[in-house]
Chains A and B, each alone.
Chain A
Amino acid sequence: MTTSSLTARSRPEEARTASRIAPVVRLHFARRLNLLLVPLFVSAVTLVVSIVVQLAIQRAGVDPGTAEYAAGARQNPGIVWALSGYLVATGVSSVATSYPLAGALGATRREFALGTAVTHALTAVFVTAVLVGMLGLERITGHWFGGFYVFDVDVLGAGDPLVLAAAAFLGTWLSLSIGGVFGASWLRFGPRGPLAISVVTVAVLAVAVLLAVPSFAAVAEAFRAWWLAVAAVALIALTTSGTFAFLRRASVR
């Protein structure tokens, strides 16, 4: 067989390989409710709950026109906690429940892992777009016509759309990836997988805290927000690699 004939045979096979990541993405997004609609619903519910709480504070006599009120209201982290919890759970589900079907339909472990990573990134883009849009609405409406701070909050950049976009994108992707690696570890090792990850994570954090305690003041003084972005990127890389590694030896069950 000549080199040219080998090349002619291998090209279509490579093309097929590349094209099978897209079906995995499509498989994930067939569940629009989980990936697209529920985050919207969570954001809407958080908006309503935050407005109710802040309205109660206002009715208790706090003047929403003061700088002190705005500073306090901007400390509302409700949207972050609400979305991150849901997204971690969705990350687990996206791997643990879709992997068996993807395998049955003819996706390899590698294709599933890549397709899932792409799905998580696309979901992060969607959630980022939603949050940036909601921030825009919040700013345009004078904080929902009554001084209510839900998206214009410190943890999301205090009204800076670029900071919010970066935080939302990285935070969403990281939450989904963390869930994904837990799901993959469960597929590989059963209940022992997530348990082992939890124990190791707690142990690493405990050691890190104990080692850092003497230098806390210096670390706090030197801290910059971009450290969080770098840490998020590193953790996304770590968790995505972990998902690949766990799925590599997992049986399709």
Chain B
Amino acid sequence: MTTAIEITDLSRRYGSTTALEDVAFDVEEGTICGLLGRNGAGKTTTLSIVAGQERPSGGRVRVFGHDPADDSRVAARTSFVKDDQRWPDDFRLREVLAVGPAFHRGWDAELARSLAADLRVPEKTPVKKMSRGQASAVAIVIGVASRAPLTIFDEPYLGLDATARQLFYDRLLADFSEHPRTILLSTHLIDEMESLLEHVVVLERGRVRLDCDVDEARASAYSVAGTTRAVRAFLAGRAVLSTHGIGGLTTATVEGAADGRVRADAAAAGVELSPVGLQQVVAALGAASAASPTSLDAPLEGARS
């Protein structure tokens, strides 16, 4: 499989603020990769640099083998409408549908029209004056209909109702099946979009915290529940990502695979093990990052959420 995106030692600083530091991951061509993480983790900055819309402070980024910064070979194959995209004052759906094909060779005009109709994008309202959800729908129309070899979505669902979001997921997956391309998307609605994703990269405080297939991500942590005393005993020496306590009961998310030894320890401690979903893993990683750096070595002290 060919690599579509290669990122090595990427950093981005804004004055004294470091948005990205030593970021490195690859995205294979023809896959859907989710870029996950808390607000301010560096997702949009990473997406902007990959799209060539922003320049890195350091490191190396290659998209289809080229540096994306102002390279027409990359730009011509990339679609990235930001979540806070700025639009010309009087641009309406009609103008979007008119200029889209000029920029993207693979643009499917019929798909664009039907998707705009299904998402109920108003035809006469300037995009700039549309509601949050309507503007998101326009961005989705461009992203899906462009069929750009690299399509980037930055929290594409903002403001969309549940029906519209499901419609987007269904149409994206259906079109992706017929016209595979590389899709890189950021999302906070991990449960909703989990079925779309093949690979995930989790960013925390500008660094890669997790970079693996979705199945590996799910298997990268497990949940343990029981009395606080039993859980505390079980967690000793383990990498705890987050804990929740209610009365005398505690639930914790622990980093690592629930192998035979873990299961045996759990049985001996009298606690119950269960698998976790992707959202739980990402939330736990974010909680661990929010706690003190020593929290992983000091479970139940600093890793509470």
Contact of A104 (CB < 8 Å), options: B71, B81, B98: B81
With A22-B102, A23-B102, A105-B100 as known contacts, state yes or no: A97 contacts B76, CB within 8 Å. no
Q: Does A251 contact B (CB under 8 A)?
A: yes
The contact of B70 among A13, A16, A108, by CB within 8 Å, is A108
A230 touches B (CB below 8 Å): no
Other-chain residue from A27, A97, A103 in contact with B99 (beta carbon distance below 8 A): A27
Cα-based distance from A93 to B146 in the complex (angstroms): 26
Question: Which one, B30-38, B86-94, B182-190, is touching chain A?
Answer: B86-94
Q: Contacts A16-B76, A101-B88 given; 16 further ones with Cβ under 8 A?
A: A16-B73, A17-B72, A23-B99, A30-B99, A101-B86, A101-B91, A104-B80, A104-B82, A105-B103, A105-B146, A106-B104, A107-B75, A108-B70, A108-B71, A248-B70, A252-B53
* Contact call B103/A33, Cβ cutoff below 8 A: no
Q: Give the residues in chain B near A27, CB-CB below 8 Å.
A: 99, 102-103
Which 10 residue pairs across A and B have the least CB separation, nearest first?
Answer: A252-B53, A23-B102, A105-B103, A17-B72, A100-B86, A30-B95, A97-B88, A104-B81, A251-B54, A108-B75
**Contact of A17 with B88 at beta-carbon distance under 8 Å, contacts A23-B99, A104-B81 already known:** no
A-B contact pairs, 23 of them (CB 8 A): A13-B73, A16-B73, A16-B76, A22-B102, A30-B98, A30-B99, A31-B88, A31-B91, A34-B90, A97-B87, A98-B88, A100-B82, A103-B53, A104-B81, A105-B103, A106-B103, A107-B75, A108-B52, A110-B72, A248-B70, A251-B53, A252-B51, A253-B86
Contact at B95–A31, with CB atoms within 8 Å? yes
Q: Any chain B CB within 8 A of the CB of A26? A: yes
Chain B residues within 8 Å of A103, by CB: 51, 53
- The answer on a CB contact under 8 Å between B88 and A249 is no
> Which of chain A's residues have a CB closer than 8 A to the CB of B51?
103, 252
Interface digits, A39-61 against B, CB 8 Å rule (1 contact, 0 not)? 00000000000000000000000
**Chain B residues in 8 Å Cβ range of A100:** 82, 85-87
Residues on B with C-beta less than 8 A from A106 are 75-79, 103-104, 148
Q: Within B43-59, which residues are at the interface with A (CB < 8 Å)?
A: 48, 51-55
Interfacial chain A residues near B85, Cβ < 8 Å: 100-101, 104
Q: Are A20 and B52 in contact (CB under 8 A)?
A: no
Complex contacts, A33 vs chain B, CB 8 Å: 90
Q: What residues of chain A lie closer than 8 Å to B104, measured between beta carbons?
A: 105-106
- The answer to whether B241 has its CB under 8 Å from any CB of chain A is no
Residue of A nearest to B79 (CB): A106
Q: Does any Cβ of A come within 8 Å of B5's Cβ?
A: no
B252 contacts chain A at the CB level, 8 A cutoff: no
Identify the closest chain B residue to A104 (Cβ).
B81
Q: Please give, as numbers and ranges, the residues of chain B lying within 8 Å of A107 by CB-CB distance.
A: 75, 103
Contact assessment for B75 and A111 in the assembled complex, using a CB-CB cutoff below 8 Å = yes
Interchain CA distance A106-B103 in the complex, whole Å:
7
Q: Is A109 an interface residue (CB 8 A)?
A: yes
B142 at the interface (CB under 8 A from A): yes
- The minimal Cβ–Cβ distance linking B72 to chain A, given in whole angstroms, is 4
Q: How far is the CA of A93 from the CA of B89 in the complex (A)?
A: 9
Q: How many residues of B contact A (CB 8 A)?
A: 35
Q: In the complex, what distance in Å separates the CA atom of A108 from the CA atom of B53? A: 8
Interface 0/1 of A86-104, CB less than 8 Å to B: 0000000100011011011
Taking Cβ atoms with an 8 Å cutoff, the residues of A that contact B are 13, 16-17, 20, 22-23, 26-27, 30-31, 33-34, 93, 97-98, 100-101, 103-111, 248-249, 251-253
Task: Mark B209-251 against chain A: 1 for CB-CB distance below 8 A, else 0.
Answer: 0000000000000000000000000000000000000000000
Q: Which residue of A lies closest to B105 (CB)?
A: A16
Q: Given the known inter-chain contacts A16-B73, A20-B72, A251-B54, please indicate yes or no for A30 contacting B91, CB distance below 8 A.
A: yes
Smallest CB-CB separation from A93: which chain B residue? B89
Q: Digit string of B56-73 for contact with A (CB within 8 Å is 1, else 0)? A: 000000000000001111
With a CB–CB cut-off of 8 A, which chain B residues contact A97? 86-89
Contact between chains at A249 and B75 (CB < 8 Å): no
| Contact A104–B73 (Cβ < 8 Å) | no
Q: How far is the CA of A93 from the CA of B76 in the complex (A)?
A: 24
**Are B48 and A252 in contact, CB atoms less than 8 angstroms apart?**
yes
Q: Contact: B90 with A31, CB < 8 Å?
A: yes
**Min CB distance, B64 to chain A, in Å?**
11
Instruction: State whether A111 touches B72 (Cβ < 8 A).
Output: yes
- Distance in Å: Cβ of B80 to nearest Cβ of chain A: 6
Cα A210 to Cα B258 with chains together (Å): 82
**Taking the nearest CB of chain A, how far is it from the CB of B36, in angstroms?**
22
Chain A residues in 8 Å Cβ range of B75: 20, 106-108, 111
Q: Which residue of A is nearest B152, CB measured? A: A104
A12 to B51, CA, bound (A): 21
Please tell me if the beta carbons of B54 and A20 are within 8 angstroms of each other in the complex.
no
CA distance A200 to B103 in the complex (A): 37
Nearest CB in chain A: distance from B21 CB, A = 19
Contact A105 B70 (CB under 8 A): no
Within the complex, what minimum Cβ distance (angstroms) separates A252 from chain B? 4
Task: Determine which of B86, B89, B103, B148 lies in contact with A20 in the assembled complex, contact meaning CB atoms within 8 Å.
Answer: B103
